Structure 1
Amino acid sequence: MFKQLQQDLEADHHIHFNNIKLLEEALTQANYINEHPGYTGNDYQRLEFLGDAVMQQSTAVYLFKRFPNWDEGRLTELRISMVQTRAFAALSRELHLDRYVQLGRGEELSGARNRDSLLEDLWEAFIGALFLDQGQDTVMRFLEDIMFVKIDEGFYDQFIDYKSKLQEYLQRDGSVKITYTKLDEQPVSNNEQIFTVQVAVDSEPLATGTGKSTKDAEKMAARKAYQSLMND
């Protein structure tokens, strides 16, 4: 099973584990070991601990170098959106770690294979295993290939509550009136529409956004307004 994952990693990301036992350990849950008394390997918890530290450091170093003009607040905001449960779960699914994890029967029946919290653990354990097997340089190259590239794609925006961020920024010196107004609604197919929403502060327009619902359009408008204010 893990040989197939090894082949997939080689084909897709040019990653070859020298010690495939580390890869197996990163994808083995404690409940699986408890139900298999003859199993001689370890569960992923220690590798998860290591991987969490590696991810925090690697992401901080990358952002520090990538955005030399950003202040600590902006760097922290982006880092938090990147090193969190839903982001790591998505990366685990992209690598198909959910297919290969060895689970106990109870966990399998409860749907743990699709649980974001478990997939987060698997991602961190995988990074810990890769770090031990090949070192920091390989980890950074891998993260640039699969994780950091998603910054420019706007992947991590979905994990940031821009409406709250915008409200906090605009009300930093006192109360203001923030409004979201629907400007347009256009059909794009039989079942879909595109909404356009404008966000304003004290009746002063800040930005417009579009989306497949008014909620999505509001989020887009808030993101554009907040990022524009930050850039200014």
Structure 2
Amino acid sequence: MPKGAKELLKKLEYDFENIEYLDIALTHSSFVNEHISKTNNVSNERFEFLGDAVLDLIIGEYFFRSDESLREGKLSKLRSEVVNEQSLAKVSNELKLGSFIKFGKGELKSGGNQRESILADALEALIGAIYLDSDLETITKIVLKLFENILKEAESKKNFTDYKSRLQENLQQYNKNVVEYVLDKEEGPDNNKLFYSSVKVDGEVVGCGSGKTKKKSEQIAAKRALLKLGEKNV
């Protein structure tokens, strides 16, 4: 069993049937490169590949089932709010995964056990290892618990409608992709400005909007463009 593995397994609330999977998940390629003569050493890169796919499926299904009105673009955006290097590294740090990974001396000396990309990859490898050792239902429960706070944060953003992205999706079916947002004017003092923007499609103004920020005025302009194009549920 890898050094300190009992502490990690306690945090995960999981016991491996095949402990070798855990050992592989916690083996960085730098360790293998420094112990090349030992043929039984395998890095976690293949497990990382599998874990990435499993994580995408679990988080994607979570949002898919959470709200049937969510469109493909919004589902992708929500999933990316959760499945990204920063979020994975955060969960990895909560598990103190960096202290369990086997590194080569050079990588460890350069701070590899604290590098976000390595920590994120190791977490994906660990997810792949648990999936191989158990089943989808088991790893789903573990993942949803590990990412509980990050999922809640993403959920809080779910009600925000990104009209600009929605307009872009709408226009793609008409093969119209040249979308331009123009700040027409701004009024008022610096502490209480009002911005006016318009959105053009292939050079033609299709919507105008105003708001307390430039981004807000662009979102309103995109919303009005969608209404003009006959989009429902805007």
- Normalised to the residue count of structure 1, the TM-score between the two structures is 0.68
Could you say which residue in structure 2 is the equivalent of 1:188? Answer: none
Could you say which residue in structure 1 is the equivalent of 2:20? Answer: 21
Q: How many angstroms does 1:147 deviate by?
A: 1.1
Could you say which residue in structure 2 is the equivalent of 1:141? Answer: 141
Structure 1 stretch displaced more, 71-80 or 145-154: 145-154
What is the SS of the residue equivalent to 1:175? Answer: strand
% of aligned pairs identical?
29
For 1:143 and 1:64, how far apart are their aligned partners in 2?
16
For 1:73 and 1:29, how far apart are their aligned partners in 2?
35
On the 8 A contact 1:97/1:119 being kept in 2, the answer is yes
Is 1:66 the counterpart of 2:66 in the alignment? Answer: yes
CA RMSD of aligned residues (A): 3.7
Task: Trace 1:1-232 onto structure 2 (pairs within 5 A).
Answer: 2=2, 4-10=4-10, 12-36=11-35, 37-38=37-38, 40-154=40-154, 174-177=180-183, 183=191, 200-202=195-197, 204-206=210-212
Q: How many angstroms does 1:176 deviate by?
A: 3.2
Q: List alignment gaps of at least 5 residues for structure 2.
A: 169-177, 198-208, 224-232
Q: How many angstroms does 1:149 deviate by?
A: 4.3
Q: How many angstroms does 1:167 deviate by?
A: 7.0
Q: Which amino acid aligns with 1:146?
A: L
Q: Which amino acid aligns with 1:29?
A: H
Q: How many angstroms does 1:8 deviate by?
A: 3.8
Closer, same or farther in 2 for the Cα pair 1:116/1:8, shift >3 Å?
closer
On the 8 A contact 1:92/1:120 being kept in 2, the answer is yes
Structure 1 stretch displaced more, 101-110 or 1-10: 1-10
Offset from partner CA, 1:157-189 (integer Å, 9 cap, x none): 7xxxx9xx787779986433287x8649xxxxx
Offset from partner CA, 1:87-107 (integer Å, 9 cap, x none): 211111111111111101111
Q: List alignment gaps of at least 5 residues for structure 1.
A: 185-197, 208-217
For 1:182 and 1:92, how far apart are their aligned partners in 2?
43
For 2:64 and 2:78, how far apart are their aligned partners in 1?
11
On the 8 A contact 1:82/1:156 being kept in 2, the answer is no
- Normalised to the residue count of structure 2, the TM-score between the two structures is 0.68
Closer, same or farther in 2 for the Cα pair 1:54/1:143, shift >3 Å?
same
Could you say which residue in structure 2 is the equivalent of 1:213? Answer: none
